[in-house]
Structure 1
Amino acid sequence: MDGMRQGLTIGEFAQLTHLSVRTLRRYHEAGLLEPASVDPASGYRYYTGAQIPQAQVIHRLRELDMPLADVKQILATGDPEARAELTAAHLRRLEERLDRTRAAVTSLRQLLRPDVERLEVELRSVPARTVTAVSGTVAEEDVLTWYDGAMAELDAAVRGHEPAGPPGGLYDNELFTAGRGRVLVYRPVPDAPETGRVARHVLPAVELAVTVHRGPHDDIDVTYGRLGEWVVEHALAVDGPVHETYLCGPRDDPDPDSWRTEIGWPVFRLSPGARSGG
């Protein structure tokens, strides 16, 4: 190679990598992909063929919306296992974002439907009960993971005991208003052994406005909203945790369309025995 030809021009490199010249300049400015050399007189950037795979890796990572700092860390890491873990951590974040996006789309479809089905609500008096439960203070974004672990402990603790009904959960208002609050999940078994986080709890008697959410929880917030609207119109909401009862869930049937979740809103009954739709 003579003195006038120091490597691949940025245009040639762009053609070989299917990246635009503008993108390559941006990678250079961000410190992600330095040219092999820069002509001091002309300022032209030159690359080598060995840099093509690196450019393509950067492009793929950026297509996955990986932050620049994370891309730099991966490129600077020589350990393949460390690189794989950094990439996997980002992919997990993408999957969580995808779940949130799917849930938002499902909710919007429900909210924007002109033909909303009638909401059936029952005013129900629930007596005090002794249950086997796991409780804790949880951040809202960690609820699903915490729930899975707690239910696994409960399932093990009540094995061999006949439950008096489906499992359920109580969710304090602070979980929704402040992003962190007390959660209690239970199996209606009064005499299971206490072990680890598993303990017996007495659930106090309560009046609830109850409706059923059908299907996966992607749009359960819509059902919560419609139930809350019903309560405002027909009853008096009182302080207390929201009750959920899992009539059918992932542990019962892998088909999300079959899932049924009762939502119970604590109320002071204004019209005893009322049943309504809205």
Structure 2
Amino acid sequence: MTAPRDTEDELTISEFGRRAGLSHKALRLYDVSGLLAPVRVDPVNGYRRYAVSQLERARRISVMRQLDMPLSTIAEVLAGTDAEGLIRLDRWWAAEQATNEARKATLEYLRDRLLRQAGPGLPERPVLTREVLETKVASIRADTDQQSLIGVIVSSTMQILAHLGQAGADLPGTSWVIYHGAVTPESEATVEVCVPFTGLVDPAGPIAIRVEPAHSEAYCTITKDECAYPRIMLAYDLVEDWVRRSGRPTTGPPREVYHPGFQHLPGSAPAVDIAQPIEGQP
């Protein structure tokens, strides 16, 4: 059986795929995922028909897939206006760049270990304690594994900052990530990206507004270069060992507290506090 002839404003899947640069398999996947459904499917023979006006959307999908963008992110980019899509695109790309930088640092750590150099270790530093005041924060919780962690942190922080900026909130410039479980290369856990602020802000979408209770915490400071996995785990070891020796029970999950202007700091600058909430002194 041959395919029926095109109507004036419709294309067969073959013609549409050729003009959009997409295979039949890709078009069927985008149909099932809801990204790009045909305008008409013949109820008798199942032939898919696409409108000429869908070519621009199809080409955008094709370009984003060449960037290895997940289908869920493509759906977000295409969901609203072009201006909204640009914001989502820039947020995703910033997360991708941060992830690539983290992977590069991890590669250098492994290379140094294989070369048996002493560099990748973490020089000794003190573990200190401090009192943290009650703080209002905007936060996003997400499940992630180690490979996606940096991207989740960057994109969530950008989303929160945009929301707080639109609401006119005052920002101290810091942020932190709370680890509600162990994030590893093999398993996911929940992380919570928190940005403190002052002012009146309503929750929106995944962004919650809550109060971080006052607490004591033990912490050590690391440089921006020392932030990369697995080197950062040595700082966690320092804090955990100190807490165990001190005999002071923990009162919450560990966290990474990023100093103001973290993204602009040089690699050798103190940039992050690895912190563990603990019971206060009697």
Q: Residue 144 of structure 1: SS of its match in structure 2?
A: helix
User: Would you say how many aligned residue pairs link Structure 1 and Structure 2?
Assistant: 183
- Aligned counterpart, 1:262: 273
In the TM superposition, what is the alpha-carbon distance from 1:153 to its structure 2 partner?
Answer: 0.3
The answer for unaligned runs of 5 or more in structure 2 is: 1-61, 69-96
Out of 164, 172, 179, the position equivalent to 2:180 is: 172
TM-score, length of structure 2 as denominator length: 0.53
- Aligned counterpart, 1:162: 170
Counterpart Cα distance in 1 of 2:217 and 2:119 = 24
- Aligned counterpart, 1:192: 201
- Aligned counterpart, 1:224: 236
- Aligned counterpart, 2:190: 182
Note the aligned Cα RMSD (angstroms). Answer: 3.7
User: Residues 166-218 of structure 1, C-alpha deviation per residue, up to 9 Å, x if partnerless?
Assistant: 11121123335983222111211143342222220222333211111123212
In the TM superposition, what is the alpha-carbon distance from 1:97 to its structure 2 partner?
Answer: 6.1
In the TM superposition, what is the alpha-carbon distance from 1:111 to its structure 2 partner?
Answer: 6.2
1:149 aligns with 2:158: no
**Max radius of gyration: which structure?**
1
- Aligned counterpart, 1:76: none
> In 2, are the aligned partners of 1:173 and 1:242 still within 8 Å (CA)?
no
Counterpart Cα distance in 1 of 2:206 and 2:181 = 22
In the TM superposition, what is the alpha-carbon distance from 1:240 to its structure 2 partner?
Answer: 2.6
- Aligned counterpart, 2:248: 236
Counterpart Cα distance in 1 of 2:150 and 2:142 = 13
TM-score, length of structure 1 as denominator length: 0.54
Counterpart Cα distance in 1 of 2:112 and 2:148 = 21
CA spacing shift, 1:122–1:135, aligned 2, 3 Å: same
1:211 aligns with 2:228: no
Counterpart Cα distance in 2 of 1:255 and 1:267 = 31
CA spacing shift, 1:136–1:102, aligned 2, 3 Å: same
> In 1, are the aligned partners of 2:181 and 2:191 still within 8 Å (CA)?
no
Counterpart Cα distance in 2 of 1:94 and 1:234 = 38
